[in-house]
Amino acid sequence: MDPVLEKIASDVINASYAIHTEFGPGLLERVYQLLLVSKLRGMEYHVECEVPVTFSYEGETFHDAFRVDILVNKTLIVELKSAEIMLPVYGKQVLTYLRLMHLRLGLLINFGMAHLKDGIKRVAN
C-alpha cells in the first residue's frame, strides 16, 4: 500500500481516537463528522464532506447517487457511524464506494462503540 495513503489513514485513526477519548460514544454522527473534519483540516489535510458521487451503469448516468461522508486528499474515504453495533453491511457500503470511485482504501469508523478499537475497520479495494 502507498506509504502516503497509509500515513493519511493513520492520522485519521489517531484523530478519531482523540475525539472518542474526549467525547465518548453517544453523539450524533454529524457531530463526529464536524469534529473529525476540523481536526484533519488542522493537520493541513484537504477534506471534503458529503461528497456527491456519480456513476454509470448500462449506459445510464446516475448523478449524486450517494454521498461519501468524508474524502481526505481525494484518496481516502471515511464513512462514519454512531451506532451501538457494527453491522456487516457498513463495510460492504464502504467497499462499494471505493469501487465506484476507483479508490484503494476506506475507513469505517463507528463512534458509537464503547471501545473505538471495536468500531474501526479498514476496507481495501
Selection from 12-16, 87-91, 97-101 with the highest mean pLDDT: 12-16
Q: Show Cβ contacts of residue 76 under 8 Å, excluding neighbours closer than 6 positions.
A: 5, 8, 9, 12, 103, 105, 106, 107
Amino acid 65: pLDDT: 87
* Whole-number average pLDDT of the chain: 96
pLDDT per residue as tens digits for the range 9-58: 999 999 999 999 999 999 999 999 999 999 999 999 999 999 999 888 99
CB 20 within 8 A of CB 111: yes
Q: Percent of the chain scored above 70 by pLDDT?
A: 100
Residue 1 has pLDDT above 80, yes or no: no
Query: Mean per-residue pLDDT for 57-82?
Result: 95
Amino acid 19: pLDDT: 98
| Sign of the CA dihedral with 35 first, then 38, 43, and 46 last | positive
Q: Which residue carries 460492504 as its cell?
A: 92
Report residue 113 as a C-alpha cell.
462503540
Distances in Å between the Cα of 65 and the Cα atoms of 34, 76, 79, 106, 111 are: 23, 19, 16, 18, 25
